[in-house]
Structure 1
Amino acid sequence: MDLLLRDRAYMVTGGSSGVGLATARLLLDEGANVITCARDGDKLATALAEASPDAQDRVVTVAADVRSRADVDAVVTAGVERFGRLDGVVNNAGGSRMAPRAETTLDDWRDELDLKFSSVLNTVDAALPHLRCSDAAAIVNVNAVLARQPESRLVATSAARAGLLNLSKSLSQELAPTVRVNSVALGLIDTGQWRRRYDQSGDPQSFAEWEARIADDRGVALGRFGHADEVAAMILTLLSPRSSYVTGSCLDVCGGVARYV
C-alpha cells in the first residue's frame, strides 16, 4: 500500500539511533524528505549517510538539543528552507531513567520532566505554523506503556510518560481539525539502551538468551524485544494521510506486555 508520503517533509527528533534512525530511514524509503536532529551532529550525519546513502539530497541533519527552543527553531527553519514545507513531526527524543524513587533526586525529576515535555512543546510550537499549511499534517509522539502501567524501578520516567500521554490527548483536541496528533506506546525495544545494559551486565548468556529471559520476566507475550523497524512502521502509518480519521489515539507497540484493557 502506498502511504502517500512521497515528496512530503517530516521532522524526526532523536534521529541518530534506535527508533528515530529507523523512522528517518523508512521515511526516506517511502520517498519522503526528512529533517532530523540530535545533540551529536556528527554521529547523526554519519548514521543517516550509512542508513540511506542514496537519499542524501532528501535529508537535512542539524545538531540540536530539543530542550532548547532556539535549537528547535533552527531545525525547523533549516528544513523548511530546504524543502519548502513541513507535513509532520515525530517527537522521539527521550530515554529511560532506571532508578527507584528513593534514589531519584529532585534534580533528576526536573531533568526527566523537562526532557519529556520540552521536547514536545518546543517542536510543536516551532512546527505549527508550517504544519497548518499542509493538507495532511500529523504529529506522532513516541511514548511508552509505562504511561499506563508504571514501574517502581522507573518511577520518574513512568510519571513523565503518563504526563506525555495526557498532553498528547490535549494537543489532539487543541490542534484539530488541521493537525492530527497520535502516540505510539513502546514496550521493550531492542535499541542501543538495551544493548548497553546487556554489555554492562556481564551476563554469560548470548544477547538472544538474555533478552528472552527479560521478556519472560516482564510478561511479553511474544517472548522477545521489539525492533526499531517494527516501531517505525507504525509511526509511518500514523503519519500517513491514509490515517486521516485517526487522532488522539495511542497505539501499543509492545509485544503484548500491556496489562491494561
Structure 2
Amino acid sequence: MSMLVNLSDRVAVVTGGSSGIGLATVELLLEAGASVAFCGRSEDRLASAKEALLRRYPQARLLAAPCDVLDPASVQAFAAQVKDAFGDAAILVNNAGQGRVSTFASTEDAAWMEELQLKFFSIINPTRAFLPQLRASREAAVVCVNSLLAVQPEPHMVATSAARAGVHNLVRSLATEFSADGIRVNGILLGLVESGQWRRRYAARPAEEQDLSWEQWTGRLARRKEIQLGRLGLPEEAARAIMFLATPLSSYTTGSHIDVSGGLSRHA
C-alpha cells in the first residue's frame, strides 16, 4: 500500500523489527524510500528478515543489527552503527514486547519490576540514544507502540496494564519536552493483533477446538472479546498507523495516540 509520502531523504529506525508489527513497519518505510535500520535480539530472525526484505526491495538501504533495548550500551552501539551507515535518524519507532498475563494476586515483585523495566526502558534507552540524531534532523518523529490496556486495563493483565498506562503518560511528557527541538512524539494503542503469540495459542488450543481453522478460531475470539469489526487486526494495519505518525502526513500531531483496536475500545 503506498502511503503517498516520499522518505528518500529520511533515515528510520525500528526496534523489534524482525517480525510482526515491527517488520510490517520496516516494509512500509522501505516502500516509501527511507533508509531503514532495525534491530532485535535474535540474530537468526534478523538475518532471515533482512534476506526476505532484500528479495522484495533489492535496492534497499537496509541495516539489521542485534541489539538488546534494555542494555544502554547495546542501544548506544546500535545508534552509532546507524549514524555511520546512513547519517542521522529522523524517525524512531519504539516497538515494545508482548504482554504478561497475571492478576494482582499472582504477580510477584520480580515480575512487576521486569514488566515495568521492559515497557519503560524499551522506550527510554532507544530514545535517549537517538535523541542527538533526532535533534539534528528536520521534522523528526518518535512513535511508541503501546496497547489499549493503557486506557482500558484488564484484570488478568494487571502489571502490563499499569506499565502501559505509564507509557501513555510518558509519550505525552516527551512530546511536551521535545517540542522545542521540533521532535514530534506520538503512540498507537493496539487491540488484538495477529502475532506469533496468538499463533502459539491457536496451536495449543483445546481438543474441542481442534476442528476450527485459524479464521474460525480468531473470529470466535473476536466475538467473545466484542471486537466490533469481528476479527483480529493485521500487523500491516498497525504499521499504517505508525507510518502516519512517523511521517509528515501527521505534521501537526504530537502527544497523541491512534486507537488501532477494531472497536475493542470502550473508553470515550
TM-score (ref. length: structure 1): 0.97
Question: Take 1:26 and 1:184, find their aligned partners in 2: how far apart are those partners?
Answer: 16
> What is the match of residue 102 of structure 2?
99
Give the conservation status (yes or no) of the 8 Å contact 2:6–2:33. Answer: no
- 1:213 is aligned to 220
Provide the residue aligned with 1:227 in structure 2: 234
Matched, 1:152 2:159: no
Q: 209-218 vs 96-105, which deviates more?
A: 96-105
Name the residue aligned to 2:93: 90
The alignment covers a number of residue pairs equal to: 261
Q: For residues 126-205 of structure 1, what are the structure 2 equivalents within 5 Å?
A: 126-177=129-180, 178-202=182-206, 203-204=209-210, 205=212
Q: What secondary structure, in the 3-state scheme, does the structure 1 residue paired with 2:185 have?
A: strand
Give the counterpart letter for 2:192 in structure 1: L
Q: CA deviation at 1:241?
A: 1.4
Preserved contact between residue 4 and residue 241 of structure 1 (Cα < 8 Å): no
Q: Deviations over 1:39-85 (max 9, x none)?
A: 11221121122134234651111111100111111111111110012
C-alpha distance in structure 2 between counterparts of 1:36 and 1:217, whole Å = 35
C-alpha deviations, 1:168-222, integer Å up to 9, x for none?
Answer: 1000000004100000000000011111111122431111111111111111000
- In terms of mean alpha carbon deviation, does 200-209 or 30-39 score higher? 200-209
- On the 8 A contact 2:10/2:90 being kept in 1, the answer is yes
Q: Which runs of 5 or more structure 2 residues have no equivalent in the other structure?
A: none
Amino acid paired to 1:31:
G
Q: How far does residue 244 in structure 1 lie from its aligned partner after superposition? A: 1.1
Amino acid at match of 2:144: N
Cα contact 1:35–1:75 (8 A) shared by 2: no
Question: Deviating runs (4+, > 3 A) in structure 1?
Answer: none
- How far apart are 1:142 and its partner, in Å? 0.2
RMSD: 1.2
Could you say what secondary structure the match of 1:153 adopts?
coil
User: Do the aligned residues in 2 keep the contact of 1:169 with 1:249 (CA within 8 Å)?
Assistant: yes
Q: Residues 83, 150 of structure 1: CA spacing in aligned structure 2 closer, same or farther, 3 A cutoff?
A: same
Counterpart CA distance in 2 for 1:57 and 1:235 is 20
Cα 1:56–1:120 shift into 2, 3 Å: farther
For residues 222-251 of structure 1, give each alpha carbon's deviation from its aligned partner in whole angstroms, at most 9, with x where no partner exists: 000000001111101111112111000100
1:252 corresponds, among 241, 259, 268, to: 259
Q: What TM-score does the superposition give when structure 2 sets the normalisation length? A: 0.94
Three-state SS of the structure 1 residue aligned to 2:93 is: strand
> Which residue in the other structure is 2:47 paired with?
45
Deviation string, structure 1 residues 8-54 (Cα, Å, up to 9, x no partner): 11110001110001101111111111111101122112112213423
Counterpart Cα distance in 1 of 2:76 and 2:198: 31
Contact 1:67–1:119, Cα closer than 8 Å, also in 2: yes
Residue number in structure 1 paired with 2:70: 67
Other-structure match for 1:118: 121
In structure 2, the residue matched to 1:11 is 13
- After TM superposition, the structure 1 stretch with the greater mean CA deviation from structure 2, 151-160 or 52-61, is 52-61
